[in-house]
Amino acid sequence: MALAPLNLTDEDKLQLAKMANTLRFLCADMVQRANSGHPGAPMGLADIATILSLYLKLDPANPSWLNRDRVIFSGGHASALVYSLLHVWGFEISKEDLMQFRQLDSKTPGHPEYKHTPGVEITTGPLGQGIANAVGMAFASKYAQNLLGKELISHNVFCFCGDGDLQEGISYEACSLAGLHNLENLVVIYDSNGISIEGAVQKAFNEDIKGRFIAQGWEVLECDGHNFSSINTALVRAINAKKPSIIIATTTIGKGALSLEGNHKTHGTPLGGDIIAQAKSALGFESSAEFIISDDVALRFLNVKEVGALAHYEWQKLLTPDTQALIDSMLDTSNITYPTYQKGQSIATRVSNGEILNAIATSLKGFLGGSADLAPSNNTELKGEQDFPNGRNMHFGIREHAMGAICNGIANYGLFLPFCATFFVFSDYLTPSIRVASLMKTRVMYVFTHDSIGVGEDGATHQPIEHLSHFRAMPNLLVFRPCDANENIACWQVALQHHTPSVFVLSRQNLEVVCDSPNTEAVAKGGYILQESTLDSQNPKLTLLASGSEVKLALDSQQALEQQGIATRVVSVPCFELLLAQDRAYKQKLFGTSKVMAIEAARGLEWYVFADDVVGMESFGASGKGETLFARFGFSVDNVVQRAKALCL
């Protein structure tokens, strides 16, 4: 049934104005007290946020309720408004928290952070991420609706964005997919104030936004962002739309700030005490009072909490035992049956990974994802599954940037464990989203194939060199580079035990299975003794460290070195970060007093944490057969033996 717009009387509009101005001055006071922050966008959006409050379904007492509306501020610089709204809506954000805006260890950091502030749905900051995250949440809700039904999944996804978000290319990628899949519960509110940090937006941006979104299959609406009737009409039409909708809201940055209204300086600079006092006085507020919320305003905003609590209560009555059991099982990893591989078998880790993905999907109903148009090469198709939204195979097209952010939104939705895939060299396009996922400790699984110069004939443009070092340097991210199919299984088993994002870096070329079976306990430590020295197992002279395809090279080199009398141990390191986290005693057990050499077909500078020497890449790759390139760049038994002898003798 279509939502009917509220009939706003003149008295209603007076009350709404008081509510909006209360938000404005809360935001201005927060920024002023911190002497840091962004008052402009929050003050410009206060009227729209006030009207939106009339239509929301949120339950602050149960902020993870599945059928809640999602509210995302893509422009994280509107954080003062985010925190003000969460406070007046009844979330666990006190007035004292507002007063601690941007201070160390407060609940109100400079940009919104997921899991840090109750009610914040996702970490935003880099422009464009939030709107793509909102698309991800709408993706998740569409599939959830197919699983659970339209009665149980009936919420909306609201996203505030600005000119900066729409200038970033990620927004175009994500919104294109939203239009393709007709994500009708997605409502984007575009704060069109015409101002950026450098001044007028038209200096660098004059697109026909209406035309852009019509071309992408969206419902496009327009409103005066300071006229309550206009906002109300547009918002209800957007909620009722049968396609994703965007409201182009014409606003004034710094609305209410008197002489500073519309000035680009309000974007990121406190207004000043005198301006705030004069503005308060002009709008009927006590000029010297700070952080004031009158009782009538507080009660009106708390209607969000009351309406949401009732909606949640009614929703719970719809849950059947079978439906609750399905929800509870969505992320249960306890019954996965993995494929088996025999030692000596030859199989690329991208191929074994495809089989592992399918094994996980068979048991884990919340496991879904896809590739940036590379599923046949990444081996990411889930067999027997339909395409999204009727199934779990997602086709992101050549939109790596948006793919990463969409998966963050899917993960934070609460029902699903998403994966996404591309060639490792193109992980550069996902880096901003992976960084945000790592900040949030949000579980997204990244499948990156074609992991090294082994790509061969495609040449240097397709051969990742610095990428392993880059991701290994990122906190809260586990990077797995398995040496074979059995170690690949163990890597997945370990990753599924961690509540962080994980990266799987996989070979295109076939690799011999060198592990007898998946050794999950050993892989959980990041590195382990794969092959002990036959000459001196207690005190080898040399320890070879390697990951991925170079582990077999290490094993072959060990054999050659021991034939020349150099006692050598081989340590496989599928996860550098987990090894780095082990205690000194465990590392001593691996390395002893031996010399240590690392082998990896990448830049590899991080290996010097453990190693005395690193056989790695000192340049970009080249075009040629993979085996020829390995020989050209020193990944051969002869070179490893020569370097090892120089190190040990």
Residues at the binding site are: 38, 77, 125-127, 163-164, 193, 195, 267, 350, 377, 426, 450, 458, 462, 508
Q: How many other CB atoms are found less than 10 A from the CB of residue 493?
A: 20
| Burial classification of residue 243, based on how many CB atoms lie within 10 Å of its CB (0-12 exposed, 13-18 middle, 19 or more buried) | middle
Cβ-proximal residues to 649 (8 Å cutoff; 6+ apart), any chain: none
Active site residues: 400
Q: What CA–CA distance (Å, rounded) separates 537 from 119? A: 56
DSSP string, 473-513: TSTT-EEE--SSHHHHHHHHHHHTTSSS-EEEE--SS-EE-
Q: What CA–CA distance (Å, rounded) separates 370 from 380? A: 6
Residue type, 586: Y
Which has the closest alpha carbon to 523: 485, 574, 472, 476? Answer: 574
Q: How many other CB atoms are found less than 10 A from the CB of residue 323?
A: 14
Cis previous bond, 389, omega within 30: yes
Sheet holding 542-546, edge to edge: 528-531, 568-572, 542-546, 595-599, 613-615
Q: What CA–CA distance (Å, rounded) separates 506 from 508? A: 7
Token pair in block for residue 407? 């998966």
The most distant pair of C-alpha atoms in the chain lies apart, rounded to whole Å, by 94
Q: What CA–CA distance (Å, rounded) separates 186 from 249? A: 16
Q: Which residues are annotated as a binding site for Mg(2+)?
A: 163, 193, 195
Q: Cα torsion at 64, 65, 71, 72 (round to 10°)?
A: 30
Is residue 498 a contact partner of residue 523, using CB atoms and an 8 Å limit?
no
Query: If you compute the radius of gyration of the chain from its CA atoms, what whole number of angstroms results?
Result: 28
Which has the closest alpha carbon to 109: 119, 100, 118? Answer: 100
Q: What CA–CA distance (Å, rounded) separates 146 from 415? A: 13
Token pair in block for residue 374? 């590379």
Is residue 534 a contact partner of residue 562, using CB atoms and an 8 Å limit?
yes
Q: Where are the alpha helices (DSSP H) in 7-78?
A: 10-34, 40-52
CA 494 to chain centre: 20
157-162/186-192 β-pairing: parallel
Q: What CA–CA distance (Å, rounded) separates 609 from 568? A: 20
Q: Which residues are annotated as a binding site for substrate?
A: 38, 267, 350, 377, 450, 458, 462, 508
Is residue 601 a contact partner of residue 630, using CB atoms and an 8 Å limit?
yes
In the chain the first and final C-alpha atoms are separated, in Å, by 82
Q: What CA–CA distance (Å, rounded) separates 112 from 133? A: 14
Q: What CA–CA distance (Å, rounded) separates 14 from 17? A: 5
Q: Which residues are annotated as a binding site for thiamine diphosphate?
A: 77, 125-127, 164, 193, 267, 426
Q: What CA–CA distance (Å, rounded) separates 189 from 10? A: 25
Q: Report the sign of the C-alpha dihedral through residues 372, 377, 379, 381, in that order.
A: positive
CA angle 542–544–546, rounded 5-degree value? 170
The CB-side HSE value for 141 (13 A sphere, CA atoms) comes to 27
DSSP 8-state symbol, 322: H
E-assigned strand segments in 442-594 = 445-449, 478-480, 502-505, 511-512, 528-531, 542-546, 568-572
